[in-house]
A and B are shown apart, each in its own frame.
Chain A
Amino acid sequence: MATILVLDDVLDAVTLLQRILEKKGHEVCGFTEEEQAIGHVGANKVDLAILDIKLKKMNGVEVLEELKKLDPQIRVIMLTGYPTLESARESLELGASEYCVKPIDKDEIEEKVEKVLGTRTA
């Protein structure tokens, strides 16, 4: 139904999310490298990006910023195992639709994805 990009430095996490979302009928591309993910959004239309915060080189909030520059309409869900109020505020101010905390289960991620895809960006 929608094109979704997943970015996490751990491959297993990416694959797991990919599997869950593909079962729901979405088209999912997974990445473990920040630059590749950003490049992908530069060249393709992506409806939703799910970003981990702790990545290999950059941090997820910076990636969020880059993606929003490339495509202000893109919706983003932040997903982190190390939540901080600071990064939550920053992400939401930069335009992330949701800030979710790991551990996250299938139901919660499906629910959040559905919610975010249902809304329009400002």
Chain B
Amino acid sequence: MFIANLFKHWTYKFFAPGILLRQKYEAFRNLLECDKKSHELIAELEQIYYDQINTDIAAVEKKCRQLSLLVGHVVECLTQLCPTCYVNLTDYFKKIDFYVKLALAPERYDFSPPFTVGFNEIGPDNQTLVGGKAFNLALARKQLGLPVPEGFVITSNCYNYVIEANDLRGKIDEKLAAIDIRSESSLESTSRKLMELILAAQIPEEVEADIVGGFRGIDRAEQGRVKVSVRSSAVGEDSRASFAGQYRTVLNVDPHRMVDYYKEVIASKYSPSALYYRINYGLSDLETPMAVLVLEMIDARASGVIYTRDPAELSSNNLVIHTIWGLGELLVNGRVTPSIIEVKRKTPRRIKRGEKSVQSVKAISADGGGIEVVSGTDGQPASLAIHDDSVLRLAEWAMELERLHGVPQDIEWCMDDLGQLFILQSRPLQIEDGDHKVIDCGDIEVENPVLLSGGIKACGGVGAGVVYRVEGATNLESIPEGVVLVARTVSPEYVKFMGKLNAVVTDAGSTAGHFASVAREFAVPTLVNTGSATKTLTPGEEVTVNADAKVVYGGLVPQLLETVCAGRSLLEDSPFMARMEKILGYISPLNLVEPTAEWFRPEGCKTFHDILRFAHEKSVQEMFSLGDRGSRRARGAKRLVSEIPVAFRLLDLGGGLRPEVSADKEVGVGDIVSLPFQAIWQGLSHPDIYWDPDLKHLDWQEFDRVSGGIFRLESLGSYAVLSRDYVNLNIHFGYHFVVLDTLCAEEPENNYIMLRFAGGGADFSSRALRVNFLARVLSHQGFKVDQKGDLIDAQIMREDRQAMKKKLEQVGLLLGCTRLLDMALKDSSGVEKLVQKFLSGNYDISPITSKQAGRDLVSVNGRTDGSI
């Protein structure tokens, strides 16, 4: 391939130089196109990282794949431009490409047996195999000897195997890459498709056989009549990220229908709430495979949740036992309010029987499978079901579990008809971290009316917004941003709106629900069990909720809102961000800045950005050295000599320069016939633009030599391809570059200006300020502006020649001013001032903030014709 190219190259060079030029121009245009798209992708990736945008890693993988193809193509185009020049660039590209792929590559995932594991077989290394929930439960039994129902685990390897056997990985990743978690419809539709994929999957025979075997292990004397509950036990669940209530649990399952329910549970991995939660935490789908815990079902007379610390009152030194009649689901789903028993954490354990709640309904196992909700608990509070000795036993176990894990625990328990107690689950308790300041109402003067007081704090803090009422779980229409959610009770399904809620107030519920747990993780102030929220708070009215003080005020209370700590970003320390950082390290930093520097070589390329920079620069040089190589029609690049220190090289495609200068190496501004270029030049060379006086009288040879090492600001390597109606301009100002492409002809239909401004030295926030300034000015001038991170694309189409010329002049002015923006713009207030200044005709952007500069700010009073 290489030799063939070379032959063609030399052949054309001698016999048909015109064709060679055209081919090279093609390759050059392709390179520019791929370069452009590459920079867009890089900007998108940077934006995800710097703006901490919640995306699934699959989306990042997709962008990186596309980027890799594009950069590879750029390298190919450069090779076409000069087959002999940069042969080892490909090696360096492949190397960087590999590092990116390695940084993207997820952990190896295992889909080999065992597919099921009995409880007793769970060993200390098996946490990934059986998932957090099952592991913790096995630990409770083995190390502490606590009573846990019989059970077995369908492993995470089995889950991986099901995915592999049905060839779903690629399809799942494709759909995950397309999710926008800020859009409900995107979440809902992607979730539906993903869940369909799982539910339609075939469970391999070996797996079915193992599940049946697992059953026999727990069947004992029941002979096939044992009922079980099927619960998720995913990797990552019940740890720092609780995933509380996000996955499905199925109760009272007939073993013969196991496989169907197994699929339902693993499909729940892709429910809208679960997706939202996982992506918010920055965890990838692959690193959270789902094992499933199959536990013998206990017909609970009473059940509940123990918190080894009281989230409503951390300083109380109590653990809290929540109790309800029947199965615990109604408690964790928030449907029923529990009775509360407080016990001192330390011995002697004093018991205080607190809030007694009367349940109107309870859940029991239904005969045919599943559960049913029945009425009638004969008015007795559930706390009566457990006598003091049981309370003490539960307290003791709870503290043992806390000691074992080293952190406060959230424990599910139940009691059967014979009074036997069982532990069903234990996981870290989500409580607020220490920096949350509890706001004391007494200190702050509040004049607003108190609409509601009382209830229990499920998550502290202050939030305000418009009241949004929600009924039940089914008619959840699009919830607007920044509302205060008011409902009778909240369910785990509401988690997918968590990002939009400023506060939550409910009639019923407790701190011991899944939603409450997740609210604490997301730091959304939540007040539950108020009894009257839905009656007292009117939809549409503005309120302020102070969950710590358990008060809801009418209207906004600025004094309170100002004291609230900023919302937590769960993404900050996440695996996702860590991976993004690594990946970007091989993509984004620019090491090759100076084309004349010694390390501006393929060997100096450490990132994709370097490769793009190198290829771009070299391709331009290639194009313009065509003339130097002595081909017959010597239409090579010419240097533009001018007053301002902008080193331009011009390539005339025909009609751009006066015919008299076609053989000259240097031309003056007066030799330029290209209309668009003239217009740009008018702007660029405007007398008001401040150019450092020291540079005005620089000797050009000297400038070239010296600029290689010391001066970096003035443009180097800038070139223009022009004809009478067309200009393609590439300007490098140190770190940033501008591409301006324009057709400015007689007929307006094909006219356009396309402007791209990218990069710049300094940190991301300075670049953001600069881009802000540009976006505002360009918009004002009628450009359609698209901003991506620190990259701006602007365009104008189909205007007539006169209007185009005016715009081009403005763009020239803008470009002239832009070099100095870094020094002039220190913060966002500076942007507004500068925009006004520019639009009113003042183009002297000397450092506004520099006092020692000693230069007076030259202010020109308004151009009457130039500004639009």
Is there a chain A Cβ closer than 8 Å to B418's Cβ?
A: no
B95 touching A102 by the CB < 8 A rule? Answer: yes
- Identify B105's interface contact among A85, A93, A102, CB under 8 A: A85
| B602, closest chain A residue (CB) | A103
| A81, closest chain B residue (CB) | B91
A103 touching B91 by the CB < 8 A rule? Answer: yes
Which residues does chain B contribute within 8 Å of A93, judged by CB atoms? 108
Which residues does chain A contribute within 8 Å of B108, judged by CB atoms? 89, 93
Which residues does chain A contribute within 8 Å of B634, judged by CB atoms? none
Bound-state CA distance A103–B99 (Å) is 13
- Identify A99's interface contact among B91, B94, B102, CB under 8 A: B102
If A89-B108, A105-B603 touch, whether A83 touches B91 (CB-CB below 8 Å) is no
Could you tell me which residues of chain B, from 311 to 365, have a CB within 8 Å of some CB in chain A? none
B603 touching A103 by the CB < 8 A rule? Answer: yes
Which residues does chain B contribute within 8 Å of A105, judged by CB atoms? 603
Which residues does chain B contribute within 8 Å of A89, judged by CB atoms? 105, 108
Is there a chain B Cβ closer than 8 Å to A109's Cβ?
A: no
| B101, closest chain A residue (CB) | A85
Number of A-B contacts (CB under 8 A): 23
B603 touching A101 by the CB < 8 A rule? Answer: no
Which residues does chain B contribute within 8 Å of A102, judged by CB atoms? 95
B88 touching A103 by the CB < 8 A rule? Answer: yes
| Smallest beta-carbon distance A80→chain B, Å | 10
Bound-state CA distance A34–B610 (Å) is 37
Which residues does chain B contribute within 8 Å of A83, judged by CB atoms? 95, 98, 102
Could you tell me which residues of chain A, from 11 to 39, have a CB within 8 Å of some CB in chain B? none
A103 touching B92 by the CB < 8 A rule? Answer: yes
Bound-state CA distance A105–B94 (Å) is 15
Is there a chain B Cβ closer than 8 Å to A41's Cβ?
A: no
Interface centre among A85, A93, A99, A102 (most CB of B within 10 A): A85
Interface string of A70-108 (1 = CB under 8 A from B): 000000000000010100110001000001011101000
Which residues does chain A contribute within 8 Å of B105, judged by CB atoms? 85, 88-89
B102 touching A88 by the CB < 8 A rule? Answer: yes
Bound-state CA distance A59–B91 (Å) is 22
Interface string of B93-116 (1 = CB under 8 A from A): 011001101100100100000000
Bound-state CA distance A93–B108 (Å) is 10
Bound-state CA distance A30–B108 (Å) is 33
Could you tell me which residues of chain B, from 58 to 108, have a CB within 8 Å of some CB in chain A? 88, 91-92, 94-95, 98-99, 101-102, 105, 108
Which residues does chain B contribute within 8 Å of A88, judged by CB atoms? 102, 105
Which residues does chain A contribute within 8 Å of B99, judged by CB atoms? 101
| A105, closest chain B residue (CB) | B603
| A88, closest chain B residue (CB) | B102
Could you tell me which residues of chain A, from 48 to 84, have a CB within 8 Å of some CB in chain B? 83
| A108, closest chain B residue (CB) | B606
Which residues does chain B contribute within 8 Å of A99, judged by CB atoms? 102
Which residues does chain A contribute within 8 Å of B92, judged by CB atoms? 103
Could you tell me which residues of chain B, from 588 to 614, have a CB within 8 Å of some CB in chain A? 603
If A103-B88, A103-B603, A105-B603 touch, whether A85 touches B95 (CB-CB below 8 Å) is no
A101 touching B101 by the CB < 8 A rule? Answer: no
Bound-state CA distance A69–B854 (Å) is 71
| Smallest beta-carbon distance B100→chain A, Å | 11
Bound-state CA distance A29–B103 (Å) is 31
Bound-state CA distance A83–B101 (Å) is 11
| Smallest beta-carbon distance B62→chain A, Å | 17
| Smallest beta-carbon distance A97→chain B, Å | 14
- Identify A103's interface contact among B95, B98, B101, B102, CB under 8 A: B95
Interface centre among A85, A89, A101, A102 (most CB of B within 10 A): A101
Bound-state CA distance A103–B92 (Å) is 7
| Smallest beta-carbon distance B105→chain A, Å | 5
Which residues does chain A contribute within 8 Å of B91, judged by CB atoms? 103
Which residues does chain B contribute within 8 Å of A85, judged by CB atoms? 101-102, 105
Which residues does chain A contribute within 8 Å of B95, judged by CB atoms? 83, 101-103
Could you tell me which residues of chain B, from 152 to 200, have a CB within 8 Å of some CB in chain A? none
Could you tell me which residues of chain B, from 566 to 599, have a CB within 8 Å of some CB in chain A? none
Bound-state CA distance A11–B424 (Å) is 64
Bound-state CA distance A121–B102 (Å) is 21
| A90, closest chain B residue (CB) | B108
Bound-state CA distance A38–B91 (Å) is 31
Bound-state CA distance A85–B95 (Å) is 12
Could you tell me which residues of chain B, from 88 to 147, have a CB within 8 Å of some CB in chain A? 88, 91-92, 94-95, 98-99, 101-102, 105, 108
| B102, closest chain A residue (CB) | A88
| A106, closest chain B residue (CB) | B603
A101 touching B98 by the CB < 8 A rule? Answer: yes
| Smallest beta-carbon distance B263→chain A, Å | 30
Bound-state CA distance A85–B98 (Å) is 8
Bound-state CA distance A83–B102 (Å) is 10
| Smallest beta-carbon distance B183→chain A, Å | 33
Bound-state CA distance A99–B101 (Å) is 13
| Smallest beta-carbon distance B866→chain A, Å | 51
Bound-state CA distance A87–B160 (Å) is 22
Bound-state CA distance A89–B94 (Å) is 18
A-B contact pairs, 6 of them (CB 8 A): A83-B102, A85-B101, A85-B102, A89-B108, A101-B99, A103-B92
The list of the 10 closest CB pairs from A to B, nearest first, reads A101-B95, A83-B98, A101-B98, A88-B102, A85-B105, A103-B91, A105-B603, A89-B108, A85-B101, A85-B102
Q: Which residues of A contact B (CB under 8 A)?
A: 83, 85, 88-89, 93, 99, 101-103, 105
Given A88-B102, A103-B603, 5 other A-B residues pairs in contact with their CB atoms under 8 A:
A89-B108, A101-B98, A102-B95, A103-B91, A105-B603
